């Protein structure tokens, strides 16, 4: 993940619109969950802009595909408990929690209200993919499946919003 993040940092030097890895992870998870497999030539411009050249960033592309396969395997795994190591573990940072874990004199200029909530950036990436391909996220005809999809998307939308609750679980 550090290598993916470092590659994105390098790309951001030329295009400040390049998202951070946590956003990309959410976007990738949504691609995995879609009804159809979206080809790379279709999703790269949406995620990384029209100027992204996969051949110039082959290590990033290779690591992306590797992470995609990990997500596919994790989401397909039959697990009973979330603690099972085979479950999907999103690469999400608790930036706010990390800052709160520091002694006050070490927090620097960090404004807690401006830091993203845990999972917020991941959820924004997921929903960006959903919004980019709305036809692929239309509710199925089966009422139970449609209700399940709607509830799942509502939960992810809730994660896109700021969490103003009092921190309750230590990092």
Tokens read off for 55: 């051949």
Per-residue pLDDT, 170: 64
Per-residue pLDDT, 171: 62
Nearest-CA neighbor of 168 among 100, 92, 82? 100
Q: What is the DSSP string of 77-109?
A: S--SSTTSTTS-------HHHHHHHS-GGGSTT
Q: What is the C-alpha to C-alpha distance for residues 145 and 123, in angstroms, rounded to an integer?
A: 21
Residue 119 backbone zone (phi > 0: left; psi -120 to 50: alpha; other: beta)? left
* Maximum separation of any 2 CA atoms in the chain, in Å: 56
Q: What is the pLDDT along the chain (171 residues), one digit of tens a residue?
A: 888 989 999 999 999 999 999 999 999 999 999 999 999 999 999 999 999 999 999 999 999 999 999 999 999 999 999 889 999 999 888 888 888 888 888 888 878 778 898 899 999 999 999 999 999 999 999 999 999 999 999 999 999 998 877 777 666
């Amino acid at each position: 993940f550090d290598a993916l993040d470092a590659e994105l940092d390098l790309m951001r030097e030329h295009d400040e619109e390049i998202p951070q890895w946590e956003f990309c992870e959410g976007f990738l998870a949504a691609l995995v969950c879609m009804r159809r497999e979206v080809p790379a030539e279709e999703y790269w411009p949406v995620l990384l802009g029209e100027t992204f050249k996969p051949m110039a960033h082959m290590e990033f592309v290779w690591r992306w595909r590797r992470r995609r396969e990990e997500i596919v395997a994790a989401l397909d795994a039959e697990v009973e408990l979330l603690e099972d190591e085979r479950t999907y573990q999103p690469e999400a940072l608790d930036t706010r929690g990390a800052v709160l874990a520091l002694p006050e004199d070490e927090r620097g200029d960090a404004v807690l209200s401006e830091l993203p909530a845990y999972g917020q950036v991941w959820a924004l990436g997921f929903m960006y993919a959903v919004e980019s391909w709305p036809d692929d996220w239309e509710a199925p005809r089966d009422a139970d499946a449609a209700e399940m999809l709607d509830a799942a998307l509502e939960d992810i939308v809730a994660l896109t919003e700021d969490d103003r609750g009092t921190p309750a679980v230590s990092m």
